[in-house]
Amino acid sequence: MPGIAGIVNGNINTDHKELLVERMLNAITHYDFYTTSHYVDECCALGSVDLSIMNDRRTIYTKDSTLLGVMDGEILNNDDLARELFPNGCGVSLNNDLELSLYLYKIHGRDFVKKLNGSFTIAVMDKKNRRLLIVNDRYGLRPLYYANFKNKFLFCSEVKGILKDSDFDKEIDEASVADFFSFGYILGDKTFFKHVKILPPASILTYQDGKVSVEQYWDFEYKEDYKSSTLHDYFEEFAFLLHQAVNRCIKAGNVIGVPLSGGLDSRMIVGMIDKKYLPIHTFTYGLPECNDLIFARRVSEEIGTLHHEVILRCENFNEYIRKGIFFTDGMISCIHFQTMSILDEMKERVQVALGGILGDVTSGDHLRRSLFSINDRSTLLYALCKYHDIIGEDIRRLLFSNSYYQKIKTIPVESVRHSLIKANAGLSANICDYFDIRERQRRFINYGNINLRSKVEVRTPFFDNDLIDFYLALPPDLRIAQMLYKEVFKRKMPNLAKVPRQSTELPINCSRFQEVLKRAGNVAKWKVERLFHGKVKFPNRKKPTDYDGWFRTCLKDFIEKTLFSKEALSREYFNHGFIRSLTDAHMSGKTNYSHLIGCLVTFELWHSMFIDSSFPMQEVFYPDVYSKRTQ
């Protein structure tokens, strides 16, 4: 995966540092079209892996040789910053984000990061002071993992890079296991390895004299002294900022694509793109004639995009699952790797993808009125834990061995509590918001973009700083049920408001009567299915995937071999008898345990790749690339 890596240690000789940083960079170089660069001296070793799509962001020295930098990501307001620095247009490469960042660092010191709007992780080695500085964007969109052990500091955009150091202790973090089997992802700055952390959002990390310090330079501050709660007072600014955020992500010469679903977030992006940039490419995946394919096709026809469809086939998911776990270091469940189906199509046609992550938060689609009325934080804590728990405490108690369960049973609640403590908000709606953005969006949803970044650059309009600043002052009543969001469609894009969304199968501008009628129809279908004990089934076109059915059919042997191999049955974490019974229940069609089975498969394959093996199975997935590097 494109990214950066580095080592700082005074006790390792230069040759050893160079060998190790090369191994770290090799670990994240998954395709032969990636380019790599690195620099090594007695002080440090820094390097980068790049897609070679955007401006040159490789390892760079300042002209006076005092600063060395590497960068993963982009700065979207680079032109404005360059004009501010050099009003006469000289002295810095306007198309080089890393060089610009180093100049800003020389002027503003570590506070330079506060001026940046984009998605990035930047490492700066200040050679004069023998100090390493690592900063990231406000939202932590570019994961960076780090470890400090045996008088050396290692960092890498993928955990597997750090594992290349033979001195690293692969002790598993029990709290991360508990999180994963509660929420389907890991919370906070934890990873599956006790001695590896992920850099929190809006961080300034400093490593000097063997010590690591991490300071947060920004956080969400909800402005809860709301002056008004009418659509009129907020509508025009919201629409303007949405338009600005989307078009700020499009730069001259870029070939743009949008993964287009039947929902509203990707639709908002394509609808806000200036006509001068059209036609763009759009990509949709799904089961044959699912709502995503049908409604995305209609959106494409309305806008006039170059539309591409990929039909999901069960037989492809054996490969997607293995590669997805490898790409993401096992951070999320394997039932979320369907975006890999459009990777090759996107790589062939576009350079940059505009992703809809955070759109559901910006629109308020994630908010639930049932949580609004909870004024007590302790009550809200347990309500949030229950809402986000994908497995349930009763199942979790049976899933783990008794001894392991006793060690981890309180951890999921404590993980959520630790996140909520940081929330600078008083209203329950805003506290829920904070948790969703800091945890669910960053540690779960964002990994879909990470898979896409293996072949194309990804930009995220809804994480635009100006849009977020506006959002923090927006009353929850205007966010709930996507009220303001839908109004933008109705007034600015009425042609797209007429197209149904995949989850409701109703247009955005539908009447209240249509909503009631549709809801009554859905209830009637549900009652008929219950009456006939599932023997009568109505087509469900709302889902683009069918892991429930795939696990029972073409992936059944794969599931069985993974969960009940000799190695898997030797794991002391689990009650394997219960796993056998729940798997049998799922395979028989009596119940749907696809979420839990997905987590179990992910954890087992992660364990075999990253713990049991002396190195991740890179040569299995990418034999051509691996053989070239080892010759």
Flag the least confident range among 61-65, 174-178, 400-404, 578-582.
61-65
Output the pLDDT for position 614.
53
- Tell whether the model's pLDDT for residue 176 goes beyond 60: yes
pLDDT in tens, 40-86: 988 899 999 999 776 555 667 766 778 999 999 999 998 888 888 77
Nearest alpha-carbon partner for 49 in 453, 511, 547, 383: 453
Q: Determine the Cα–Cα distance for residues 509 and 610; give it in Å rounded to an integer.
A: 50
Does residue 255 or residue 624 have the better pLDDT? 255
- CB atoms inside a 10 Å sphere around CB 215: 12
Output the pLDDT for position 137.
98
Band of residue 18 on the pLDDT scale cut at 50, 70, 90 = very high
**What percentage of the chain has pLDDT greater than the value 90?**
74
Output the pLDDT for position 55.
59
Range among 33-37, 425-429, 601-605 rated most confident: 601-605
Whether the CA torsion 506, 510, 515, 516 is positive or negative: it is negative
DSSP 185-217: S--TT--SBTT-EEPPTTEEEEEETTEEEEEE-
* DSSP 8-class letter at 588: T
Q: Give phi and psi for 148, each to the nearest 5.
A: -125, 110
- Tell whether the model's pLDDT for residue 257 goes beyond 90: yes
**What percentage of the chain has pLDDT greater than the value 70?**
94
Mean pLDDT over each residue of the chain, to the nearest integer: 91
Flag the least confident range among 84-93, 443-452, 603-612.
84-93
Output the pLDDT for position 54.
67
Give the mean pLDDT of 81-94.
Answer: 69
Give the residue carrying structure tokens 């909520």. 420
Q: Give phi and psi for 374, each to the nearest 5.
A: -85, 115
Q: Determine the Cα–Cα distance for residues 511 and 508; give it in Å rounded to an integer.
A: 9
pLDDT in tens, 585-627: 999 988 999 999 999 999 999 999 999 975 555 555 554 444 4
Nearest alpha-carbon partner for 590 in 545, 541, 540, 534: 534
**Cβ(299)–Cβ(324) below 8 Å:** no
pLDDT in tens, 310-367: 999 999 999 999 999 999 999 999 999 999 999 999 999 999 999 999 998 888 877 7
Range among 32-41, 60-69, 135-144 rated most confident: 135-144
- Tell whether the model's pLDDT for residue 453 goes beyond 70: yes
Give the mean pLDDT of 575-580.
Answer: 98
Q: Determine the Cα–Cα distance for residues 556 and 211; give it in Å rounded to an integer.
A: 49
Beta sheet of 35-40, edge-to-edge order: 35-40, 44-50, 3-8, 152-156, 145-149, 197-198
Give the mean pLDDT of 373-388.
Answer: 92
Ordered structural domains, the chain, with CATH: 3-218 (3.60.20.10), 231-364+447-519 (3.40.50.620), 369-436 (no CATH), 547-616 (no CATH)
Band of residue 10 on the pLDDT scale cut at 50, 70, 90 = low
pLDDT in tens, 183-220: 999 999 999 999 999 999 999 999 999 999 999 999 99
Q: Determine the Cα–Cα distance for residues 186 and 176; give it in Å rounded to an integer.
A: 6
**pTM of the predicted structure, to 2 decimals:** 0.94
Helix (H) or strand (E) holding 72: strand 67-75
Does residue 62 or residue 506 have the better pLDDT? 506
- Tell whether the model's pLDDT for residue 535 goes beyond 80: no
Residues in the chain: 631
Band of residue 631 on the pLDDT scale cut at 50, 70, 90 = very low
* DSSP 8-class letter at 424: B
β-pair type (457-459, 352-354): parallel
Band of residue 523 on the pLDDT scale cut at 50, 70, 90 = confident
- Tell whether the model's pLDDT for residue 452 goes beyond 90: yes
Q: Determine the Cα–Cα distance for residues 226 and 230; give it in Å rounded to an integer.
A: 11
